[in-house]
Amino acid sequence: MKKKMFKPFMLALGAFSLVVVSCKKDDLKPTDDHVHNDSELITTLELKFSGKGVLRNDTTFVITFNDPDGDGGNIPTQFDTIHLLKNSTYNVELTLLDKSKTPTDTISNEVLEEANDHLFFYSSNPIGLVNVSITDKDGNGKNLGLKSTWETSNSGFGKVKVKLMHQPGVKDGTSATGDTDVEVDFQVNVK
- Report the interface residues with another protein, using CB under 8 A: 1-3, 6, 10, 13, 17, 20-21, 23-26, 28-33, 36-40, 42-45, 65, 67, 69-76, 79, 102, 105, 107, 110-111, 113-114, 163, 166, 168, 176-177, 179-184
Indicate the residue among 5 and 55 with the shorter CB distance to another protein. 5
Q: How far is CA 4 from CA 11, 12, 16, 121, 143, in A?
A: 12, 14, 19, 79, 80
Instruction: Kindly tell me the sign of the dihedral angle through the C-alpha atoms of 72, 75, 76, 77.
Output: negative
DSSP one-letter code for 55: S
Q: Minimum CB separation from another protein for residue 50, in Å?
A: 24
Q: How far is the CB of 3 from another protein (least distance, A)?
A: 6
What is the closest distance, in whole angstroms, from the C-beta atom of residue 85 to another protein in the complex?
28
Residue 63 or 111: the one with the smaller Cβ distance to another protein is 111
In whole angstroms, give the CA distance from residue 50 to residue 103: 27
Q: Give least dist CB 157 to another protein, A.
A: 19
Task: Determine the Cα–Cα distance for residues 158 and 130; give it in Å rounded to an integer.
Answer: 9
CA of residue 33 relative to chain centroid, distance: 27
Report the alpha-carbon angle 182-186-189, nearest 5: 160
Question: What does the DSSP 8-state code read for residue 9?
Answer: H
Helix (H) or strand (E) holding 71: none
Which C-beta is closer to another protein: that of 92 or that of 182?
A: 182
23/127 with CB nearer another protein? 23
Element (H, E) at 43: none
Nearer to another protein, 1 or 55 (CB): 1
Nearest distance, CB of residue 76 and another protein, angstroms: 6
What span, in angstroms and rounded, lies between the C-alpha atoms of 54 and 22?
68
